[in-house]
Homo-oligomer: A and B are copies of this chain.
């Protein structure tokens, strides 16, 4: 059973509590308390699976564990507020190293004025850092991946493939020179959640948002499926930092499409609101790029199409592309 069918199997069809606005199925859950919408999400990092001591210092482990959760809040359009940390500590992590993990979280928490309000500390065989975050949003202003509609402009913040490039460098699989190496390492270890950009969009009526945690191919397919629309993306328009643009395409393309962990925001808005998105980007000093458009789907299962050198192919969740002449 893969992760997606597993999630389907545990997902409730009906919720007991009428205050649940969004359960399983987006970047975070949403419930309402007296006209205040509360966003919550949990993300877990396991040593040897999501990070290794080879590629991250303890400080980065903490920073990143909180950052990926804040990114989920950004993708819901929420203001970060609180977090809780459940940590499994193995014998081979010293008290000083665990302190560093918390320092990494506190560094980022301070930036967002987030409070550590609870948690649990237990022992085990491998380090597991599980962070629960809470954010606040005005009523009905949560941003869902199911909100895309035909005619929308598709956009993405920042640049893609950077975190993967950083990881490849740290694993010794690819070499970059000093300046580029430092840039990519930073993007892998200390991603920058797009909170202020998402908040700048709050005045807009309808915005679909997803954060790029598993690669844009995966996130685009999630929006297509949740909104029941087709997405059309132009490969040449996907934003790449100059260091990446210089690489051979066969090296760079998989990183851009499915490298993941860039924690940028992929979204869509009605075409009339595209100018407002550009203003929001400017106001929050965030790069934003129009990368395609949203159309009606003719299929039961919607698709994401990728245009590249004027050839049209299907972009699968995995980042794999294949030509479909008939579409």
| Contact partner, A134, options B28, B31, B113, Cβ 8 Å | B31
* Number of residues on chain A facing chain B (CB within 8 A): 63
Question: Which of A1-9, A161-169, A293-301, A312-320 forms part of the interface with chain B?
Answer: A1-9
Closest to A34 in B: B34
A198 at interface by CB-CB < 8 Å: no
Q: Is the CB of B121 within 8 A of A3?
A: yes
A99 close to chain B: CB less than 8 A: yes
Do the beta carbons of A128 and B121 come within 8 Å of each other?
A: no
- Cβ of A307 within 8 Å of any chain B Cβ, yes or no, is no
Are B20 and A132 in contact, with the CB atoms below 8 A? no
A107 within 8 Å of B (CB atoms)? no
Contact between B42 and A124, CB atoms less than 8 A apart: no
Instruction: Select A42's contact among B24, B38, B86, B88, beta carbons within 8 Å.
Output: B86
Q: Within 8 Å of chain B (Cβ to Cβ): is A247?
A: no
| C-alpha gap A25/B25 in the complex (Å) | 33
User: Is B84 touching A118 in the complex (CB atoms < 8 A)?
Assistant: no
Chain B residues within 8 Å of A130, by CB: 42, 44, 86, 120, 128, 130
| Distance in angstroms between the alpha carbons of A226 and B12 in the assembled complex | 40
Q: How far is the CA of A29 from the CA of B118 in the complex (A)?
A: 6
- Establish whether residues A50 and B82, one from each chain, have CB atoms under 8 Å apart when the complex forms: no
A113 near B16: Cβ-Cβ < 8 Å = yes
The answer to whether B132 touches A31 (Cβ under 8 A) is no
Q: 8 Å CB contacts to B: which residues of A22-36? A: 22-24, 28-29, 31, 33-36
A91-114 vs B, Cβ < 8 Å mask (1 yes, 0 no): 000010011001000000000011
Q: Check if A115 sits within 8 Å of B43, measured CB to CB.
A: no
Contact A118 B23 (CB under 8 A): yes
B19 and A117 within 8 A (CB): no
The answer to the question of A275 belonging to the interface, with a C-beta cut-off of 8 Å to chain B, is: no
Could you tell me if A116 and B24 are in contact, using CB atoms closer than 8 angstroms?
yes
Does A119 interact with chain B (Cβ within 8 Å)? yes
Is A46 in contact with chain B by the CB < 8 A criterion? Answer: yes
The answer for the CA separation of A88 and B49 in the assembled complex, in Å, is 11
Q: Is the CB of B44 within 8 A of A116?
A: no
Measured in the bound complex, the distance between the Cα atoms of B50 and A124 in whole Å is: 10
Q: Are B128 and A124 in contact (CB under 8 A)?
A: yes
- Among B28, B88, B126, which residue has its beta carbon within 8 angstroms of that of A44? B88
Interface: A136 (CB within 8 A): yes
A306 at the interface (CB under 8 A from B): no
A120 to B130, CA, bound (A): 9
- A251 CB within 8 Å of chain B: no
- Which residues in A have some Cβ–Cβ distance to B below 8 Å? 1, 3, 6-7, 9-12, 15-17, 19-20, 22-24, 28-29, 31, 33-36, 38, 40-46, 48-50, 81-82, 84-86, 88, 95, 98-99, 102, 113-126, 128, 130, 132, 134, 136
17 chain-A/chain-B pairs, Cβ below 8 angstroms: A10-B119, A23-B115, A23-B117, A24-B119, A28-B118, A29-B82, A31-B134, A33-B34, A42-B84, A44-B88, A44-B120, A44-B130, A46-B88, A46-B122, A49-B122, A50-B122, A125-B126
